[in-house]
């Protein structure tokens, strides 16, 4: 679901006509999946994890993107580095754990003992009594571009992709500028294998026509969702309700609720710099295709990361981030916060799997997009453009 726009215009958000969706085969064809890995996942900035998962020099984490494994390590100077998790010698995997701390300030291959410093330069190749072959010193680790954005770590597997990092946020990078993103801490993590193509996840994210039927609790908390729309300007008659305070017309949370949680109450102090309107609405989405979004609430944020596993399978990782102060509070009720979002995501997962199962029909060349699905259309146009570039 996209973030409610704050700027007033006279235009209605909806699509003006039925638009053709992507070809149905793109949701299950193995060659198309491979193409999307190459053209989308292997040459865009991909979110992998939070910087505080590597607090000290020599700490590392490994992440998978499609068939690729990246190794992230904090170097001696405290800087973060990313490499392919592959030794330059004969191609062995370097680190096998998801996370850990290197025993020394070196990355050492277990196979033949080649070691690299934490910037990736070759340090040592064990040998006895012979000269070093010419060219050996150039064999540093295969580097990967890395960007730390407010504590969110992104990598780009393409060595030639030159698009500035910030341009890859959909709708701009400043949607959550009033949130202290860099300072937040992981309070809870969860992952689930979704038996659907990764694009179905995003299409579901980008519309609320399904909300009334699929998300009853969410539609009570966010009354405008019950009307199948994401925000007031998805209603062609929005201008008639400009002075209303009814959240089913204007968006935002039901009266009495301040955040997405089981009881609508915050789990700790609210972020201090939020505007009155940001508090009223109560949820704001920052979207970074193809791999992640952040849902910002007044008291915490939820981060969702995708990892494609195959044409009809995607891993979905979720992190809940909180202020350190909230996590430390003796009466902190994690469950009240986490269960709400986890429940909504479980409902989405089930319905995405349903959507996947119907794509194979011979007669079904492509779906259609309804007026309210303008952001699904935008997502699909983004996919088409990425495949064409």
Residue ranges in 108-167 that form contacts with a second copy under rule CB under 8 A: 110-113, 125-131, 133-136, 139, 142, 157, 159
- If one asks whether residue 33 binds a second copy (CB under 8 A), the answer comes out as no
Element (H, E) at 45: strand 45-50
Q: Which is nearer to a second copy, 177 or 360 (CB)?
A: 360
Q: Is 68 in the site for a second copy (CB under 8 A)?
A: yes
Size of the site for a second copy (CB under 8 A): 71
Smallest distance from the beta carbon of 28 to a second copy, in angstroms? 9
Q: Which of 78, 100, 172, 213 binds a second copy (CB under 8 A)?
A: 213
Minimum CB distance to a second copy smaller for 83 or for 317: 83
Give Cα 217 distance to the centre of its chain: 23
Element (H, E) at 152: strand 152-156
Which span sits near a second copy by CB under 8 A: 2-10, 276-284, 293-301, 370-378? 370-378
Q: With binding defined as CB under 8 A, does residue 205 bind a second copy?
A: no
Q: Is 355 in the site for a second copy (CB under 8 A)?
A: yes
- The reply to whether 184 sits near a second copy by the rule CB under 8 A is no
Residues 6+ away with beta carbon under 8 Å from 185: 52, 321, 322, 323, 324, 327
- If the CB atoms of residues 116 and 271 are measured against a second copy, the closer one turns out to be 116
- Binding characters for a second copy, 221-260, by CB under 8 A (x = yes): ------xxx-----xxx-----------------------
Neighbours of 145 (CB within 10 A): 16
Q: What does the block give as tokens for 204?
A: 């579901």
Instruction: Give the torsion through C-alpha atoms of 145, 148, 154, 160, to 10 deg.
Output: -30
Query: Distance between CA atoms of 74 and 69, rounded to whole angstroms?
Result: 17
Minimum Å gap between C-beta 142 and a second copy is: 4
Least distance in angstroms from the C-beta of 150 to a second copy: 27
Verify binding: residue 85, a second copy, rule CB under 8 A.
Answer: yes
Which of 291/359 has CB closer to a second copy?
A: 359
At what angle are helices 374-388 and 198-205 packed, to 10 degrees?
140
Work out whether 24 is an interface residue with a second copy (CB under 8 A).
yes
Residue 106: HSE in the Cβ half-sphere, 13 Å Cα cutoff: 14
Q: Which is nearer to a second copy, 12 or 332 (CB)?
A: 12
Helix axes 198-205, 334-357, angle to 10 degrees: 120
SS3 (DSSP) at 83: strand
């Amino acid at each position: 679901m996209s973030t409610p726009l704050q700027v007033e215009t006279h235009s209605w958000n909806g699509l003006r006509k039925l638009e053709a969706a992507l070809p149905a085969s793109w949701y299950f064809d193995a060659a198309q999946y491979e193409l999307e890995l190459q053209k989308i996942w292997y040459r865009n900035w991909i979110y992998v994890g939070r910087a505080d998962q590597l607090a000290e020099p020599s700490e590392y984490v490994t992440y998978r993107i499609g068939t690729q494994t990246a190794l992230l390590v904090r170097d001696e100077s405290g800087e973060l580095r990313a490499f392919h998790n592959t030794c330059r010698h004969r191609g062995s995997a370097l680190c096998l754990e998801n996370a850990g701390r290197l025993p020394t300030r070196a990355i050492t291959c277990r196979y033949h003992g080649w070691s690299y410093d934490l910037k990736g330069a070759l340090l040592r190749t064990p040998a006895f009594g012979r000269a070093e072959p010419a060219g050996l010193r150039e064999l540093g680790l295969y580097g990967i571009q890395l960007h730390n954005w407010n504590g969110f770590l992104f990598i780009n597997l393409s060595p030639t992709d030159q698009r500035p990092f910030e341009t890859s946020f959909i709708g701009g990078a400043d949607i959550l500028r009033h949130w202290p993103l860099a300072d937040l801490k992981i309070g809870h993590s969860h992952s689930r294998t979704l038996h659907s193509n990764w694009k179905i996840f995003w299409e579901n994210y980008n519309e609320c026509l399904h909300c009334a039927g699929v998300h009853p609790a969410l539609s009570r908390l966010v009354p405008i969702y019950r009307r199948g729309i994401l925000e007031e300007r998805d209603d062609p008659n929005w201008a008639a309700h400009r002075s209303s305070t009814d959240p089913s017309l204007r968006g935002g949370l039901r009266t009495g609720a301040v955040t997405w949680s089981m009881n609508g109450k915050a789990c700790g102090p609210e972020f201090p710099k939020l505007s009155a309107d940001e508090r009223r609405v109560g949820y704001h989405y920052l979207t970074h295709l193809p791999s992640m979004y952040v849902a910002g609430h007044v008291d915490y944020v939820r981060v969702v990361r995708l990892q494609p596993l195959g044409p009809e399978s995607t891993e979905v990782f979720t992190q809940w981030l909180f202020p350190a102060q909230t996590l430390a509070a003796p009466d902190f009720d994690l469950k009240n916060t986490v269960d709400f979002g986890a429940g909504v995501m479980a409902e989405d997962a089930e319905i995405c799997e349903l959507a996947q199962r119907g794509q194979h029909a011979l007669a079904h060349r492509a779906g259609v997009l309804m007026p309210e699905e303008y952001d699904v259309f935008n997502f699909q146009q983004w996919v088409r453009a990425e495949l064409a570039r």
